[in-house]
Chain A
Amino acid sequence: MTETTNDAPPAGNGAPPAGNAAGAAAATAELPVLTRKDFVSDQEVRWCPGCGDYSILAQTQKVMPDFGYPKENIVFISGIGCSGRLPYYMNTYGFHTIHGRAPAIATGLKAARPDLMVWVITGDGDALSIGGNHLIHALRRNVDVRIIMFNNRIYGLTKGQASPTSELGKVTKSSPYGTIDFPVSPLAIALAAEASFIARSVDTHTDHLQRTLEAAGTHKGSTFVEVLQNCNIFNDGAFRDFTDREVREDRMLMLEHGQPMIFGKERNQGIRLNGHQPEVVTIGEGGVTEPDLLVHDETDPLIAFMLAHLWWPDFPVPVGVVRNISRPTHDQMITDQIAQATATRGGGDLRKLLNSGETWTVE
């Protein structure tokens, strides 16, 4: 054993995405270029055959080399649920914690170690039910962690109970007469909590998922990605109506910043605002032209809130980056306060501290 200190250089907090890790970038210069294989651990993957989690794992491993961090500076933290096993399969540092608490643990880790790239892997029950409070507060604090929430609208690991995203009336083991609980919108919760990056993708749309994870990985601040994920055992086909290859173009809206909201195989359908209400229109019908369509703006909270509530069959389901803004991160502000206190009061002197206040001497 050797004695060392943890004084790794801090990451370039607050810098644009390209400068993601000043320390990490310097380190990569000496390291071999990493590939997907470097991020595959020696543990056998034990999700059910056909589970959507395999795809999310594969895309996650695939994008990892792109961020410029040496793999020892990457940490995956998870809660409980099927998603919680993902860290075991990543050849990085990993911490499989307890139900719902991963964002809290990640907050402490990132506060202590701003140089690390921290990912949180969670599910709809883990993040929105038992861990709802921690999710909200990690997001509102702009903790620089990437929270990837696998949403399969069911409790899988406990074998099929309703989750907070299960649709009203859903018949499950715990709701034989159908659920009477209205589902939450994960994106709306993330918005209410003021996450600085919010996106949605689909397990089987591998290219889109990869692009989304890449965007998430380069964002600085609280990052929330909802991945619609199929549980083929307890909730098979939950998203099939709009995610299947044959229908997805007509029933999903691929968001592009600065681009009009167009969808459809023919690229002739779009979203228009009618007063405050979104409506689906067809270009070329009723005098609708492309300039009539709403243009996506990742910085506009009203557009984001509207998008969070679009769902099939009334609307196409939006995927892509819903929100992307820049604000100071939690760890950066901690670091700044310490620097400021040290600059104005000098480095801590324990002797002075113990002898502060009124003291006296007994001879």
Chain B
Amino acid sequence: MSTEAPTRPTEPIQTQLERVTIRFAGDSGDGMQLTGSQFTRTAAAFGNDISTYPDFPAEIRAPAGSLPGVSGFQLSFSSTEIHTPGDEPDVLVAMNPAALKANLGELPAGGALIVNEDAFTAQNLQKVGYASNPLNDGSLKQWNVFNVPISTLNTRALEGLGLTNKQVDLTKNFFALGLMFWLYERDRAGTIAWIDDKFSKRPEIAEGNKRALNAGYNFGETTEIFHERYIVPPAKLAPGHYRNITGNEATALGFVAASKLAGRDLFYGSYPITPASDILHQLAGYKNFGVKTFQAEDEIAAIGAAIGASYGGAMGMTASSGPGIALKSEALGLAVMVELPLVLVDVQRSGPSTGMPTKTEQADLLQVLFGRNSDSPVAVVAPATPGECFQFSIEAWRLALKYMTPVVYMSDAFLATGAEPWRIPSVDDMPSIAVPNRTEREGFYPYLRDETTLARPWAVPGTPGLEHRIGGLEKADILGNVSYDPENHHRMQMLRQAKIAAIAADIPPLEVYGPSEGDLLVLGWGSTYGAIRSAVERLQGRGASIAHAQLRYLNPFPANTGEVVAAYKRVLIPEVNLGQLSLLIRARYLVDAIGYNRVRGKPFRIAELEAEAERILATLGATVR
């Protein structure tokens, strides 16, 4: 086609849609994550409900144009409340043949396909095994294809700026973004302000990116390729002040808030690991909040330093992903033994071993519960949505400080990198966190427990008269001296267990969405929340007797968990692992729970959970409309 954009003689038709799902796909160096997150913030600021799914390779720059180098960002934006980034895209933006090949299978027939036709060179086609160019061999007939010479148009738009060819090429994602802004009638101002800020020291790059953005927008405006523009009106979200937030961002903010609410400095020891590193990056910028970050020499030192900080009276914490959690296990056991407050974040990823570092999974549950020598109980919490990460960061610290215990906070790659609109909570409404700090000499014993919480006193160095010794050796009850007494060891093991179990009385009951009894309960934990909720909503809409419950506390379970799972004829537990919560629920409550387990490094699709629930309902003879 001609690269000249003809002037549009007729206005495009305006169509209103409830929800749109877009997937941007390109080389991992093409800036697809940036493009996706810019569209996301624009949609969020417009008032849509949003949900995102960044999906990128572990390779920073895989060979250009290759399949392993394809990076994708899917986002769903809607005028109604949504819980997931969408099962499949309505629109696929493919910046090269590799991106097309890697993603086409998930674009439903009739879906819109916007491609950068300039990238469909013989060489690029050959790299991914296309014998002929799919753009003109008729193989894309079932989709609605828009060929756009993005590179050529973009290069022309940036002429005269004095940028190198490479620099010009790097801006073409903004052309694609501009085009999508036009297509969905979005304001460019937010992105332009972002570009100006980001490249404030390199005005020529800022100008290049802005020109690219505007050129893409104007291309939509002036050509007749697109006959329709789409409006997705704002969603009716609960009144309040909002921002767009990812799980990792909310997690970091929550820890800063917890530190403020407890009046103690946060010490964050961490070793770089995907997908947890962003929490370190973010916290490292909060020094004026008194946050001390420490990039340790290894995972063990990261948790070791955190334990040392907690021993000194700070809020010591650490984060990692599965392989790093394994390395921290022994030190976590020490924290259990010495009963110091500690929060350990596990941003789970696909395993075992190095697995698929950038892909999601929720298969560390049994590791954090049981992956230490001996009986070594810790509390475990698991937020279900990016926004919830904030409140659970605070909740983790509330429990750690009140019960003098390590608390494991379970996130995962999908939760950590996915985004949603977040109603910013009022700081005034956040209750302060009580910090037990022993200073009285009279009656002090290192292991004399609080009668209600069973917590031992926190007597930190520097407190006169309370000099004492703790350590990994078994302690005599109350006195805290080293003890090999057989009955004492049994008593201490029971006490450690009882302390964690007692937390059940201090956490909210398991909430059920839907009928309080009936045919089927779908029980989940962590980031599966959105897909489960959506599937259950659909089936409820189709008349099924089905309910959803999402466990946010995995140790101990909420006190009513047994009653909830017993109130339905069947319990379905979908997990992105091979059945870890299922194992626990079956063992603990003697319920014949049915697992739905798929480990593909991706979040569940709504449709597959709906189908599985429907299948189980059918075995009960229940009819679904």
A109 touches B331 (CB 8 A): no
Q: Which 6 pairs show the lowest CB-CB distances between chains A and B?
A: A96-B471, A108-B305, A108-B308, A348-B289, A104-B304, A109-B308
> Is B108 interfacial (CB 8 A cutoff)?
no
With contacts A94-B471, A105-B311 known, what are 11 further pairs, Cβ within 8 A? Answer: A1-B436, A1-B439, A88-B482, A97-B307, A107-B301, A334-B292, A338-B288, A348-B260, A350-B260, A354-B257, A355-B243
B462 touches A98 (CB 8 A): no
A-B contact pairs, 26 of them (CB 8 A): A3-B437, A5-B264, A6-B460, A6-B462, A77-B308, A87-B469, A93-B468, A94-B467, A95-B308, A96-B470, A104-B304, A108-B267, A108-B309, A108-B312, A109-B309, A109-B461, A111-B305, A111-B309, A112-B316, A113-B313, A133-B297, A346-B288, A358-B44, A359-B45, A361-B242, A362-B240
Task: List A320-359 residues whose CB lies under 8 Å from chain B.
Answer: 334, 337-338, 340-342, 344-348, 350-351, 353-355, 357-359
Question: Measured between alpha carbons, how far is A5 from B312 in the docked complex, in Å?
Answer: 11
> Is B541 interfacial (CB 8 A cutoff)?
no
Closest chain B CB from A321 CB (angstroms): 26
Task: List A239-272 residues whose CB lies under 8 Å from chain B.
Answer: none
Question: Measured between alpha carbons, how far is A6 from B244 in the docked complex, in Å?
Answer: 35
Among B312, B435, B436, the most chain A Cβ lie within 10 Å of the Cβ of: B312
A348 touches B41 (CB 8 A): no
**B contact residues around A109 at 8 Å (CB):** 308-309, 311-312, 461
Task: List A78-114 residues whose CB lies under 8 Å from chain B.
Answer: 78, 80, 87-88, 90-98, 101, 104-113
**A contact residues around B425 at 8 Å (CB):** 354
Nearest-neighbor residue (CB-CB) of A93 within chain B: B461
**A contact residues around B438 at 8 Å (CB):** 1
Question: Measured between alpha carbons, how far is A77 from B306 in the docked complex, in Å?
Answer: 14
Contacts A342-B288, A358-B45, A359-B242 known; A116 to B300 CB distance under 8 Å? no
A105 touches B435 (CB 8 A): no
Nearest-neighbor residue (CB-CB) of A348 within chain B: B289
Closest chain A CB from B239 CB (angstroms): 5
B264 touches A6 (CB 8 A): yes
**B contact residues around A92 at 8 Å (CB):** 467
> Is A70 interfacial (CB 8 A cutoff)?
yes
Nearest-neighbor residue (CB-CB) of B466 within chain A: A72
**A contact residues around B307 at 8 Å (CB):** 97, 105, 108
**B contact residues around A363 at 8 Å (CB):** 239
Contacts A87-B469, A112-B265, A337-B287 known; A361 to B240 CB distance under 8 Å? yes
Task: List B456-482 residues whose CB lies under 8 Å from chain A.
Answer: 457, 460-473, 481-482
> Is B485 interfacial (CB 8 A cutoff)?
no
Task: List A92-149 residues whose CB lies under 8 Å from chain B.
Answer: 92-98, 101, 104-113, 115-116, 133-134, 136-137
Question: Measured between alpha carbons, how far is A237 from B170 in the docked complex, in Å?
Answer: 70
> Is B381 interfacial (CB 8 A cutoff)?
no
**B contact residues around A134 at 8 Å (CB):** 297, 300-301, 304
**A contact residues around B267 at 8 Å (CB):** 108, 111-112
Partner of B296, one of A6, A104, A136, A346: A104
A72 touches B461 (CB 8 A): yes
B301 touches A137 (CB 8 A): yes
Among A74, A97, A104, A355, the most chain B Cβ lie within 10 Å of the Cβ of: A104
Closest chain A CB from B402 CB (angstroms): 12
**A contact residues around B297 at 8 Å (CB):** 104, 133-134, 136-137
> Is A218 interfacial (CB 8 A cutoff)?
no
Question: Measured between alpha carbons, how far is A93 from B554 in the docked complex, in Å?
Answer: 35
> Is B224 interfacial (CB 8 A cutoff)?
no
Among A80, A92, A107, the most chain B Cβ lie within 10 Å of the Cβ of: A107
> Is A8 interfacial (CB 8 A cutoff)?
yes
Question: Measured between alpha carbons, how far is A97 from B335 in the docked complex, in Å?
Answer: 10
> Is B511 interfacial (CB 8 A cutoff)?
no
> Is A43 interfacial (CB 8 A cutoff)?
yes
B256 touches A348 (CB 8 A): yes
Question: Measured between alpha carbons, how far is A138 from B408 in the docked complex, in Å?
Answer: 27
**A contact residues around B460 at 8 Å (CB):** 6, 113
Closest chain A CB from B34 CB (angstroms): 15
The interface bits of chain A over 37-79 (1 if a CB of B lies within 8 angstroms of the residue's CB, else 0) are: 0000101000000000000000000000000001111110110
